[in-house]
Amino acid sequence: MSLTRNDSAVRIVHVYPNLLGTYGDAGNAIVLRGRLHLRGLPVELIAVEPGQALPREGDVYLLGGGEDAKQTAAVQMLRADGSLVAAAGRGAAVLGICAGYQLLGTTFLGVGGVPTEGLGLLDVTTGRLERRAVGNILARAAEGGLGADGAPLPELIGFENHGGATTLGAQALPLGVVEIGVGNGGGENGTAGAGRRTEGAVQGAVFGTYLHGPVLALNPDLADAILARVAGPLPPLDDSLVEALRQHRREHVLPATERSTRARSVLRLLGRRDSAPSGAAATLSRR
Amino acid sequence: MTKAPVLTDQDAPRRAAPRSLRTQVALGAGRVVGGLSRRLGRGSGVVVRGRVALALDPTVLSTLASGRRTAVVTGTNGKSTTTRLLAAALGGPVATNATGANMGPGILSALDDSPSLLAVLEADELHVPSVMRQTRPEVVVALNLTRDQLDRTHEVSRTAQVWGRAFADRPGVVVVANAADPHVVDAAEQGRPVWVDPGLRWTEDASVCPRCGAVLDWVEDPDGGPARWSSVCGFAMPTADYVLTPGGVRLPDGEELAFSLLLPGEVNRGNAIFALAAAAALGVDAREAARRVAGVRVVDGRYATLDLGGRSARLLLAKNPAGWAAALSMVSGDAVMAIGINARIADGTDTSWLWDVPFERLAGRVVGATGDRRFDLAVRLHYAGATPIVEEDPVRLAHRLPAGPMVVAANYTAFREMRRYVAGELDR
């Protein structure tokens, strides 16, 4: 981790890892650095803690998940600092996870559920889910072709742990369509037709997702899609270990998640008379 | 406070409460069900036995605890080891939940099994208030508070608030507390704190001040000691009464007491001085306590020797990033490491935490990856610069790894499965 500028290196800026780093999201920085390093490309990883100024000339900015108070503190500091918004404006790639995703949007619920202004780099707003989403998640890549030469990415795999319901505006596209799990949440604007729910958002080179795992460790094609935006086309890497991991998730972990989700929703239906969540009641009365 | 080499029944300040018929029936029923569960091969029966007894008589735990001198040990990491060390430090028979069943039912079984008037009880962090209410301890050891299982994490700051209220509700309780952990200090000031500086620092979960929310300032000690923390609001690391030194511990009277341990690692030397401080608070001479903790070798399977198809290995348990950092620091440079990772309910089902562990310390080494989530681990090791050998069967893995002294580190349920390879009797 060096602050000396190397003009040919890809500069990855890890934003406030001690504030936004509760769920292993520091791994995204390790993965991006590793994937450039393994290809013999120069890379500079700069971790910036609160109190330090963000570099303006970064190529990729990473923001992880964190608790409400830390999320609110982070957005205030980032707005005062200004460098992240400026860098995104000139085309730098930005990836926000969970709380980091929400604060890239226009509004989110901060400390005590108070609507709080985000950085506005993604056309998304975040409210609250009725029930916290905790579990493994599988999302089919959305249309739009983020992969090399416009090819669609392979399915996104991760672990979600959030209470946010994120609604996409007209300028943001979803990253994926949820097969197992919750993702952006079930609001009408969070669906992708036929009741399918979406996951994450992308707008230019700004990416947001609820996926921990970390997301770039489990989804190397997404990692390379982000790197390709700032470093150009990249030669392939041997990803056989992570392919084995993805196969294990698909064949063993995710089916168990799906079974337990189904069992829980059956139990919820049976218990609904006593414990209709307020949101469901509101939906019924609107009809 | 008297300094007695061994605490005896005469030191007990109260007499045990007489047991009602209901209490006796509840305990009897618990023992029967627990024995049945054990004979059916459903585990030790310790927890189900306590549950049955508590269901029949909710006051049974406080009845069993009355008349005893009790110390409660809690924290994210080091609970079981410190409990074991403190029980040893007191000398003589002690009622203690040595198998790590650290909520009401497990504690109940431990107390029911031992008539000793001394009790050393490990308590789950979030069960501290109820355990304290029912067992009325004289001393609580508060080790540390760090992030644990991510999929059902309770924010560290919230746990600290729970502790603070529990300490305030029991005026006079001595809290043997980690001065280097801001959250622990915040809570311990609600009791009568005895400050311990265990040397090692884990700053990842202590970035902001628990009092004012400002970013904490960690400053290196000018004398070369570990860093000290402070906040702009004035909240700062207290001066420790017991300080880990390179050769031993500096006692409150300023004297330096040398001690050695059979348990490996700096982190266990830190745990040992918590035990010495708690033993001293209960009236045991620190020198005598230091002699007693030196002989502890195995803690409920931790540090035990495994026999993996003829290859021996030492077994370590680690359950969260801070625990893993501690486990990695116990592994010498020439050791060959195998790591077992599961993600069952008891472990937490999210493996993202693997990326918060400094596995980069293993860069350049061949490392075994086993357990249900061996592929998650292998990818993490790969990016850390190590060469993973992925193998489901621990015996086959032992034979595929390079020569050298072998260490197996595993998280909770993977550790439990590894214990089947323990050579000889488990130390209790």
Domains of chain B: which residue ranges?
A: 9-20+57-293, 305-421
Residue A109 Cα distances to A69, A76, A227, A256, A279, angstroms? 11, 14, 31, 32, 17
A285 min Cα distance to partner chain B (Å): 33
Whole-complex ipTM: 0.89
In a domain, A45, yes or no: yes
Does B380 sit within 8 Å of A26, measured CB to CB?
no
Overall size of chain A counted in residues: 287
Using the predicted structure, report yes or no on whether residue B292 has a pLDDT greater than 90: yes
Q: At what angle do helices B21-39 and B104-113 cross, to 10 degrees?
A: 100
Interface membership of A213 toward B (CB under 8 Å): yes
Q: Average pLDDT, whole number, for chain A?
A: 86
Torsion sign, CA atoms A102, A108, A114, A116:
positive
Tell me, yes or no, if B207 comes closer than 8 A to chain A by beta carbon. yes
Distance from CA of B177 to the nearest CA of A (A): 24
Q: Is residue A269 part of a domain?
A: no
Interface membership of B215 toward A (CB under 8 Å): yes
> Which class for B233: exposed (0-12), middle (13-18), buried (19 or more C-beta within 10 A)?
exposed
Strands (E) in B132-279, as ranges, are 139-142, 174-178, 192-197, 217-219, 228-230, 242-244, 248-250, 256-258
Has residue A142 been placed in a domain? yes
Is pLDDT of B236 > 90?
yes
| Cβ-Cβ contacts under 8 Å, A237 against chain B | none
Helix axes B374-383, A26-38, angle to 10 degrees: 60
Percent of chain B residues topping a pLDDT of 90: 71
Q: What is the mean pLDDT of chain B?
A: 90
The answer to whether residue A118 is domain-embedded is yes
The CATH code for residues B305-421 is 3.90.190.20
Query: Which residues in chain A have Cβ-Cβ distances shorter than 8 Å to B152?
Result: 134
Q: Can you tell me the distance from the alpha carbon of A25 to that of A27, in angstroms, rounded to the nearest whole number?
A: 5
Q: What is the predicted pLDDT for the residue at A281?
A: 30
Q: For residue B238, is the peptide bond before it cis, meaning its omega torsion is within 30 degrees of 0?
A: no
Q: Please state, in angstroms and rounded to a whole number, the distance separating the CA atoms of residues B376 and A158.
A: 12
- Judge: B350–A244 Cβ closer than 8 Å, yes or no: no
Output the CA torsion B230→B233→B235→B239 (10° steps). 60
pLDDT digits (tens, 9 = 90+) for B190-220: 999 999 999 988 877 777 788 887 888 889 8
Contact A243/B at CB under 8 A: no
Which of B379, B387, B389, B390 to mutate to probe the A interface, most A CBs <10 Å? B379
The long-range contacts involving B384-390, CB below 8 angstroms and separated by at least 24 positions, are B384/A30, B384/B359, B384/B360, B385/B360, B386/B359, B386/B362, B388/A241, B390/A241, B390/A244
Which residues of chain A neighbour B212 with C-beta distances below 8 Å?
A: none
Alpha-carbon gap: B250 to the closest alpha carbon of chain A (Å): 32
Q: For residues B352 and A97, what is the distance between their CA atoms, to the nearest angstrom?
A: 13
pLDDT tens, position by position, A84-126: 999 999 999 999 999 999 999 999 998 888 999 999 999 999 9
A132 domain-assigned: yes
Q: Which domain holds residue A24?
A: 10-238
pTM of the model: 0.84
Q: Residue ranges of chain A with pLDDT lower than 70?
A: 1-7, 144-145, 147-149, 186-196, 271-287
CATH number of domain containing A128: 3.40.50.880
CATH number of B9-20+57-293: 3.40.1190.10
Distance CA A96, CA A105 (A): 10
CB contact under 8 A, B355 and A30: yes
Question: What count of residues does chain B have?
Answer: 428
Residue type, B426: L
Domains in chain A, number: 1
Asked whether the beta carbons of B197 and B180 are under 8 A apart, the reply is: yes
Domain membership flag for residue A245: no
